[in-house]
Amino acid sequence: MVSRRPRHKELTPREQCIHVARWIPRGLDMFCDLKQVIQVCLLLEQEEVVEDRDPTDEQATIARTNILKNIDDQTRVRYMRTFEYVTDHAPYLGSLIGKKKKRDELTHIIGEMQNMINHTRSEDASRLKSRMGTYAAPVPDKALVNPPIGDDSKSRSKMGFNHPQLGPMLCPAKFLGEFNKDPAEIQAGSLKVTASLWPAYLYPGESPGKDFDPEDIIEGLFRGYLLTRVAKHIFTSPSSALSASVSNGTRPCNAKIHGMSTVEAEHIAYAAVQVRFSLLSFSYLFTLCQARFGISSLDKWKDKDGLFLYSDFYYRITRLIRERRDEEWVDSLLAYFNE
């Protein structure tokens, strides 16, 4: 008897919304506040309507203006991009907007989607944790990261910036020379680590940052081997991370599931944040999670690490790639990830 292939189950309206929510952090906005996105975009639409006719409600106009004046143009564009994607790919959500009788249902769906956005970030970090010792090694076939990193690490004091191999990766590339002389300067606060400084793992070289040029910090940026491997791990498959080509796994990859045909700024930024969070998670999340939760499977994403803000880091990357006037550099970078 020939077995028939099971048909793909058609998603319910709610499942469709949750499916879209899983893609939002990976491909649209890693730190998306969906409720705020919807509220702001509706106000922007109202503003366009009001501009075409005389305002009938002065108080509403003042309230709308007071909210929108705090939203810069870059954020508006990002919000609208997310809003249009969500309402297009999850039409059920769009059908609830503006209907008073459906307000409670809309609030519930938005809450579920936001939970999935947060969960996806943490889930991806959690799945990375067991592989970072391999991905972070320049030539994993010859040697993994040493000392090894993982749940069973006995010496947390040797993780993160204190790790002999991870520390230089996490260090801002411009500080590498000073850091290599005295790693304790990071912990002592002499070298300030903020999102405005590019970490060494973003640059190429057998040891990350080796090819960093302080006179041209844009050269080689986002072409580090660890970033490339993690991007493949997340969007194509773990089996493709160490391969020169994309490996076809037994299950559909995230890119295929969500119709991602090319790598864009948001995908690169998402992978870059996940690299840093995962490398440091072995240090400061270990005591919080241990075996019960898994190192990076917390419900609450830790946005701040000392002076370093992950959201600032993420948006700095997306803005640089999307808005850089050097089109040749942008095209070359995207071609590098899409080859």
SS (H, E, C) the chain: CCCCCCCCCCCCHHHHHHHHHHHHHHHHCCCCCHHHHHHHHHHHHHHHHHHCCCCCCHHHHHHHHHHHCCCCHHHHHHHHHHHHHHHHHCHHHHHHCCCHHHHHHHHHHHHHHHHHHHHHHHHHHHHHHCCHHHHCCCCCCCCCCCCCCCCCCCCHHHCHHHCCCHHHHHCEHHHHHHHHHCCHHHHHCCCCCCCCCCEHHHCCCCCCCCCCCCCCCCCCCCCCHHHHHHHHHHHCCHHHCCCCCCCCCCCCCHHHHCCCCCCCHHHHHHHHHHHHHHHHHHHHCHHHHHHHHCCCCCCCCCCEECCEEHHHHHHHHHHHHHHCCCHHHHHHHHHHHHC
287 pLDDT band, cuts 50/70/90, is: very low
Average pLDDT over residues 251-262: 83
Most confident of 3-12, 22-31, 284-293: 22-31
The answer, yes or no, to whether residue 331 has pLDDT greater than 90, is yes
Q: Judging by beta carbons within 10 Å of its beta carbon (0-12, 13-18, 19+), is residue 162 exposed, middle or buried?
A: middle
% of the chain beyond a pLDDT of 90: 55
pLDDT one-digit tens code per residue, 198-238: 999 999 988 888 889 999 999 999 999 999 999 999 999 99
| DSSP β-bridge partners for residue 305 | 308
Spatial distance between the Cα atoms of 97 and 107, rounded to a whole number of angstroms: 10
Q: Mean pLDDT over residues 4-10, rounded?
A: 56
Evaluate if residue 283 carries a pLDDT over 90.
Answer: no
- Give strand pairing partners of 304: 309
Mean pLDDT of 231-256: 80
- 117 falls in which pLDDT band (50, 70, 90)? very high
Q: Please give the structure tokens belonging to residue 2.
A: 């020939």
Cβ atoms 296, 130 nearer than 8 A: no
For residue 3, pLDDT over 70 is answered with no
